Amino acid sequence: MVIRLKKNKEKAVLNFHPWIFSGAIASGENGLPSGSIVRVESSSGGFLAWGHYDPKSQIRIRLFSFDESKNGSEGTFWTEKWNAIYESKLALLPKETTGFRLFHSEGDGVPGIVVDCYHETAVMQLKTPGAMSLCEPLVSFLSQKGFKTILERNDKSDDKVTGDTIFHKGAEKEPQFTEHGIKFIADITKGQKTGFFLDQRDNRALVSNYAKDRMVLNTFAYSGAFSVYALLAGAKSVHSLDISKQAIELCERNLKLNGINLGNEPDKHKSLVLDSFDYLKTMDSYFYDLIILDPPAFTKSIATVNQASRGYKDINMRAMSKIKVGGLIFTFSCSQHISFDLFKKIVFGAAKDAKKRVRILHHLTQSPDHAYSVFHPEGEYLKGLVIQVDGDI
C-alpha cells in the first residue's frame, strides 16, 4: 500500500521526522484500513519511509523505518528493535532501580508504544491503531523478558471504545519497585498515566541534595515521591498537598513503605487534601523554604496555551511571593505545547509581577529512559527549573 506526498512536502521525512500530517498527502488513502503498514513516497515516486496509517488522526502516518528493505512485516523486525531498546535502557538505569520506561514511543523509534516497567510488572499503553496491531507480539516479547504481570491500559478511542484495563498475564495491581534504592507502590489500574511518574526520577534525586533541614511543600503531590525523597534526605518537615484523597492515601503508604513512621514523628509530615491553587493563595508567608510545583498538564492543545500559561504564572508568582528569602522552588511544566523558552518567559513574568529577585540554578527535563529523538523535538515534554528567590527587588 503506497501513500504519495504532495510536491515539496517530503522535507520533514528527509529530516527523519516521524510524523506525516494529513495535509501533506496527495494520494493513496482511499480504502486503506486503520493501522495498515504503508510505503511513503515522494511526489515523484521515490521511497521515503515505512509507517503505520491512522485515518482518524491529523497525524496520518507515524513512521518507524527509513530503510526500504525493512517494512515491519519481517518476522524479526519488531523483536530485534525492541530487544536493542531493552538492552540500552538497562544500561542507563541507576543502581537499585527497578522502575523505568522501556519503550518511549517516537523517542525510541516505536511510535504509539509506551511500556513502563515496575519490577516484574509491565504496563503497556498502545496509543495508535498501528501500535494496537502489535499487541500480541509485544506481550510475547515482554513475557520472554520475565515480566510476570503484563497489563494493557489505554484511553478511550474510536478504535478501542472500552478504554478499560486488560491483564494479558498475571494479576498484580499494585507492584512495588525501587528507585535509587527507595521503595514505591505503583497504582497501575487506577492511578495516573501507568501508575507512577517515572520521568521525574532524576529530579527527585536532585531534591535530595537540597532538602536537608528545610521546610518543604510538595504541591500536586500524587504518590508523594518527592516527599519521600525529601524526608529521607533530612528535611525538617514536609507537607504533601493534593486535591485527591486517593493520591494522598498512596503518598502515606509510600512513606510507611520506606520506614517513615508518621505516628512516631507527627511533625515530620502533614497530608493535605486541598486544591493546590487555593492553598498557594492562602498559605502563610515565609514558612516554607523549598516548594515543589509539579502540576498536571494545563494544556493538551495549542488553542489553550495562553490559558495554561496564566495558570503556570499564577502558581509560580504565589510561590515566589510567599517562600522564605533564599528559598528554592522546583517548578515544572509537562505540557508538550509549552516550550522551554515559553516556560522560562512565564517564570520571568511571575518574578517580575512578584517583584522578587530570582536566579535559575538548574534546567531540568525528563529522565534518560524518557529521552526524545533529535529528529522529534516535540518529544521534550517535561520542562523544569530550580530557582532561588533571593528577596524583594
pLDDT per residue over 150-175, tens digit each?
Answer: 999 986 544 433 457 999 999 999 99
- List the one residue out of 17, 12, 11 whose CA is nearest residue 379: 17
CA distances from 150 to 98, 117, 136 (A): 15, 9, 11
Residue 336 — pLDDT band, cuts 50, 70, 90?
confident
Sequence letter at residue 217 = L
- How far apart CA 113 and CA 100 sit, in angstroms, is 15
Helix (H, G, I), strand (E, B) or coil at 295: coil
Residue 18 grid coordinates: 516521524
Whether 43 contacts 7, CB under 8 Å: yes
184, 252 in Cβ contact below 8 A?
A: no
Interval 280-293: pLDDT, tens: 999 999 999 999 99
Contact between 185 and 207 under an 8 Å Cβ cutoff? The reply is no
Q: For the chain, give every residue range classified as CATH 3.40.50.150.
A: 200-392
What is the assigned CATH class of domain 2-65?
Answer: mainly beta
How confident is the model over 192-214, as pLDDT tens digits? 889 999 999 999 999 999 999 99
- CATH assignment, 75-185: 3.30.750.80
pLDDT tens digits along 251-272? 999 999 999 977 677 789 999 9
Contact 2, 38 (CB under 8 A): yes
CATH 3.30.750.80 residue ranges for the chain: 75-185
Average pLDDT rounded to a whole number, residues 104-118? 98
Angle, helix 77-92 to helix 135-144, in steps of 10 degrees: 50
In the chain, CATH 2.30.130.10 covers 2-65
Running DSSP on this structure, what letter comes out for residue 77? Answer: H
Overall fold of domain 200-392: Rossmann fold (3.40.50)
Nearest CA to 340 out of 367, 319, 312 is that of 312
